[in-house]
Structure 1
Amino acid sequence: MKNKLLAVLALSVLASGCSSPEDKMRGQFLSGCAQSGADREFCNCVFDQLMLQFDVSYLERMNRTGIPTDDFVKATVEAGQQCNRIY
């Protein structure tokens, strides 16, 4: 049992190490979005819309500072409204 747990943990670490920066950013965004009570499809839709406007390096910089820019907030609201019509 202990060996299986270690194997799963090792695979998780390896998988996260192989993730692209966009995949990591998506995971962080989806986690925060889901914690707000939104469903996964809606959260994915919003992230996809944001990726059309911002590149990963922009999102990483903003994530490091912890302060969303006005442009990002506006784009998030607009993406949420657009995705709300779909989901």
Structure 2
Amino acid sequence: MNWKGYTAVYVLLFALATAQAVVELAGYVDSAYWVAFGAILSLSVVKAVAVAAYYQHLRWEPRSVSYLVLGGVAGALALTAAAAYSIV
């Protein structure tokens, strides 16, 4: 990937971070809390995928490497959910 590609991904990440800040600073009422939470969570997932695909070069790796990374993410999420469940 060339510098133009890295710059485009950087600008995308900057725009998504700005959108997250706008959602956070917009303020929300009780009923809109979950809408704002969902929007911020969705933007975070898009940013994480962009970073993994371009800056960690998973887009150009064999699919088996991408599946290995997805397995690690699934394991981390499972451990996080188990830890959250044990606290309650």
TM-score of the pair, normalised by structure 1: 0.31
Please identify the structure whose Cα radius of gyration is greater.
Answer: 2
Larger relative contact order (C-alpha < 8 A, sep ≥ 6)? 1
TM-score by length of 2: 0.30
